[in-house]
């Protein structure tokens, strides 16, 4: 899952980024509203963390602008203010949730997972397909009850595929949602990751859950 952080406090942005990267997210940063708006419009994000008070264009305006352009990416608004009217305003312009600063990283993480679940219409925190169980919070994978160890990137790819089950997911979509802005899209690294992922998830099981759709992409 790929997240955009729009926050002008570099230190806070970097701390949040570090935490999210450790959780397996791909993360891009924007340090003012203009840059945030540009990235949100031109890249594919699964979620946007948007600060309210920003240089150039404030968070409310960024949010309103994105929604008016039919960009439906879930937005978690950060606010230094605890005044009720700011929260209400944020939700009115189309933010999906808000979090008052200062916050604990654990709470941010829980809010993010809840928003991702909501945006994918998932009722349960643990994603299940057949005998495969993927837990985005604990980062665990089980098949037929047995634990499977994945690297963070393998996990991120599997989570993306499982969240788009029954859909054909292209290599470009995987690249866009699992890697950040600095990723070299021409490399064949996705195929390499998919190959090892398939080995871990499919091998020794009769039913192959990760399938290649030739010339198009992959499907779970």
Contact set with Ca ion (CB under 5 A) = 8, 51, 53
DSSP code string of 179-196: S-TT--TTSSHHHHHHHH
Q: Where are the alpha helices (DSSP H) in 103-188?
A: 105-119, 152-163, 171-178
Query: Judged by CB, which is closer to Ca ion: 36, or 217?
Result: 36
CA-based nearest residue to 165, from 120, 98, 111:
120
Residue 3: CB minimum distance to Ca ion, A = 17
Residue 150 Cα to chain centre, angstroms: 18
Give the residue nearest to Ca ion (CB).
53
Residue 54: CB minimum distance to Ca ion, A = 6
CA-based nearest residue to 77, from 108, 106, 46, 105:
108
Query: Judged by CB, which is closer to Ca ion: 15, or 137?
Result: 15
Query: Judged by CB, which is closer to Ca ion: 99, or 168?
Result: 99
Query: Judged by CB, which is closer to Ca ion: 60, or 156?
Result: 60
Residue 8: CB minimum distance to Ca ion, A = 5
Residue 131: CB minimum distance to Ca ion, A = 46
Residue 48: CB minimum distance to Ca ion, A = 15
What is the rounded (10 degree) CA torsion for 3, 218, 152, 50? 0
Query: Judged by CB, which is closer to Ca ion: 75, or 157?
Result: 75
Pair 79, 52: CB distance under 8 Å? yes
Residue 45: CB minimum distance to Ca ion, A = 19
Query: Judged by CB, which is closer to Ca ion: 11, or 138?
Result: 11
Whether omega before 159 lies within 30 degrees of 0, making that bond cis, reads: no
């Amino acid at each position: 899952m790929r997240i955009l952080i729009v926050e002008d406090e570099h230190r806070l942005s970097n701390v949040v980024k570090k935490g999210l990267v450790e959780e397996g997210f791909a993360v891009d940063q924007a340090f003012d509203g203009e840059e945030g708006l540009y990235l949100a419009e031109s890249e594919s994000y699964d979620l946007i963390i948007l600060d309210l008070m920003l240089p150039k264009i404030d968070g409310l305006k960024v949010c309103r602008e994105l929604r008016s352009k039919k960009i439906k990416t879930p937005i978690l608004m950060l606010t230094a203010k605890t005044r009720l009217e700011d929260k209400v305003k944020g939700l009115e312009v189309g933010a999906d949730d808000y979090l008052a600063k200062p916050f604990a990283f654990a709470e941010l993480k829980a809010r993010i997972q809840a928003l991702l679940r909501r945006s994918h219409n998932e009722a349960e925190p643990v994603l299940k397909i057949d005998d495969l169980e993927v837990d985005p919070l604990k980062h665990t994978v089980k098949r037929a009850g047995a634990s499977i160890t994945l690297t963070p990137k393998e996990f991120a790819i599997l989570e993306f595929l499982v969240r788009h089950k029954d859909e054909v997911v292209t290599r470009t979509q995987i690249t866009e949602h699992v890697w950040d802005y600095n990723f070299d899209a021409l490399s064949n690294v996705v195929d390499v990751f998919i190959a090892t992922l398939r080995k871990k998830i499919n091998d020794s099981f009769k039913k192959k859950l990760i399938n290649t759709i030739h010339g198009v992409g992959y499907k779970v």
